[in-house]
Chain A
Amino acid sequence: MRESSGSAAAYHLGRHLPFALSLAGGLALWELVGRESSPAFLVPFSTTMERLWELLVGGTLVAETLDSAGLFATGFLLSVVVGIAAGLVLARVQVLRVALEPYIMILYATPMVALIPFILSLMGFGFIPKVLVVFLFGVFPVLYNTVEGARSIKPEMLEVARSFRSGERALWRDVMLPYTLPFAMTGIRLAIGRCLVGMVAAEFFLSSNGLGQLIMSASQNFDTGGLFAAITVICLIGVGLMRLGFALESRFAHWRK
């Protein structure tokens, strides 16, 4: 018993050791280079952590993070709901799909940052234009993957449903939606990353608060420690959300081999 748990520990050590070593090495490199650099553009890891602690204790970081989280959540959920709903409709109604496909392709390919000045001049500052930016960053991957997914359903599946006399509503609930969900999940995973970019970009241009503004003001005040502290937080949030996205995707796609 003891021996097997010992070998399990060894196994985990072997699995995670390279990662732990490379992370420690990276942070050490940051520390060393940071100490040799001018604090105007790089501070070491330790200084960043000190500043992070100050911001955390002072309450600024929590407030700005919550502000950003509210923006992210609103824009992201909106892009998921609209992307899936519109995607299913487009998959089912061919005329609409053919008519709108060029716009979708163009908007999916356009770097959304390019639209921010336009949104600014149209709607000014405030919560709604920021949400719009986050939404625009996230909606197209969801929409696109949902349409492609729903369209790839095999005619045999639909025939089975017809053979068992499924009505239209049951067809959606039992066949179309569960079939399409894993594809939509791939879009949602992509949308998580893009909405995070959208969030920071919106806060750069359209905001007086949030993590994006924390970065902007720290940089303007030559608070390099604060700058890296904010970047670190965004980085951690991004990694966490990505993992959540992969977990969600595999939860709904386990049957898809």
Chain B
Amino acid sequence: MSSAETNAAARIRVRGLAKRYGAFEVFRDVAFDVGQREVVTIVGASGCGKTTLLRCLDGLLPADGGEIWIDAQRLAAPIAGVAMVFQHFGLFPWKTVYDNVAYGLRMAGASREEIGRRVPHFIALVGLAGFEQAYPYQMSGGMQQRCGLARALAIDPAVLLMDEPFAAVDAQTREILQFELLRIWEGKPTSMIFVTHSIEEAVLMGDRVFVLKGRPSRVAETIAIDLPRPRTRATLRLPRFAELRERVWSTLMSEARQAEFQLSGG
């Protein structure tokens, strides 16, 4: 997708976004567009403000400057059509898988009939069929995040916000979930912003990788990922995949090295 196309079809537009916690400036001058069927992955050191940025994009946190537009709507509070998948899963432990997946639909005022139709569909889509009546504490981390994903997908979001969704699961499960998410996304491509601290994951999932850097941080680099879709396990073996991974890596590391020098110098 060329950048002109991306802009024409932008679903998310962020302009001059800034956020402070008291005197601590998290990021400044963050600006980007995300297309209607584009996956943007965001990488950056821990604490650089990735979660804060997503919370702003979900309308959970007011920015201190700048604007966020979703289609023709300027964001001020959580809006319909934007769904978040949380790093800590965010499931309600007193609700079954079925009731957790139904939660977003119920909050959106869906009819009983619609809930009864959509919930089983999305439970099956994420591979949780048969676990409808299970409680979160009875399931592994990977299964819990499948449930979190189904809850987000069930409201048919135009924008999916993913905050390190697979960071809290073991490496094998993580790999399985990455390819399942790719499969699900191919079935119904939407705007997706996917935060991760894994460089491989960023390259595998994204159409573009944003590198968040600096203090206060900003989008320091944008790396276009011209790997073919659909992405599968074979993608990991492409020479181009290794090249792109190295590029993201060196962009991130230049800062890590600087920070190290500053530390030893100070």
Contact = CB atoms under 8 A, between A and B. Distances in A.
Interface of A: 156-157, 159-167, 170, 174-175, 178-179, 254-257
Contact of B58 (A163, A254, A256): A163
Interface residues of B, number: 24
Given A163-B78, A166-B107, A174-B103, A157 B92 contact: yes
A179 B58 CA distance: 24
B115 to A, nearest CB: 14
Nearest to B93: A255
B259 interface: no
A102 B79 CA distance: 42
B104 interface: yes
Contact of A164 (B55, B94, B104, B137): B104
A178 B93 CA distance: 10
Contacts of B94: 178-179, 255
A255 B135 contact: yes
User: Which 3 pairs of residues, A with B, have the shortest CB-CB distance?
Assistant: A160-B90, A255-B93, A178-B94
Contacts of B184: none
A164 B77 CA distance: 11
Main secondary structure, interface of B, reads loop
A254 B92 CA distance: 13
A162 B60 contact: yes
Contacts of A162: 60, 78
A165 B107 contact: yes
Contacts of B86: 156, 160
Nearest to A175: B92
Contacts of A161: 107
Interface string B91-107: 01111000000011011
A165 B80 contact: yes
A257 B135 CA distance: 12
Contacts of A164: 78, 83, 103-104, 107-108, 155
A161 to B, nearest CB: 8
13 contacts: A157-B90, A157-B92, A159-B55, A162-B60, A162-B78, A164-B83, A164-B155, A174-B103, A174-B106, A178-B95, A255-B93, A255-B135, A255-B137
B88 interface: yes
Contacts of B79: 165
A164 B84 CA distance: 8
Given A164-B83, A170-B107, A255-B137, 9 more contacts: A157-B90, A161-B107, A162-B78, A163-B60, A165-B80, A174-B92, A174-B106, A175-B92, A255-B93
Nearest to B107: A164
Interface in B155-174: 155
A166 B104 CA distance: 9
Interface in B46-94: 55, 58, 60, 78-80, 83-84, 86, 88, 90, 92-94
A149 B78 CA distance: 27
B93 A256 contact: yes
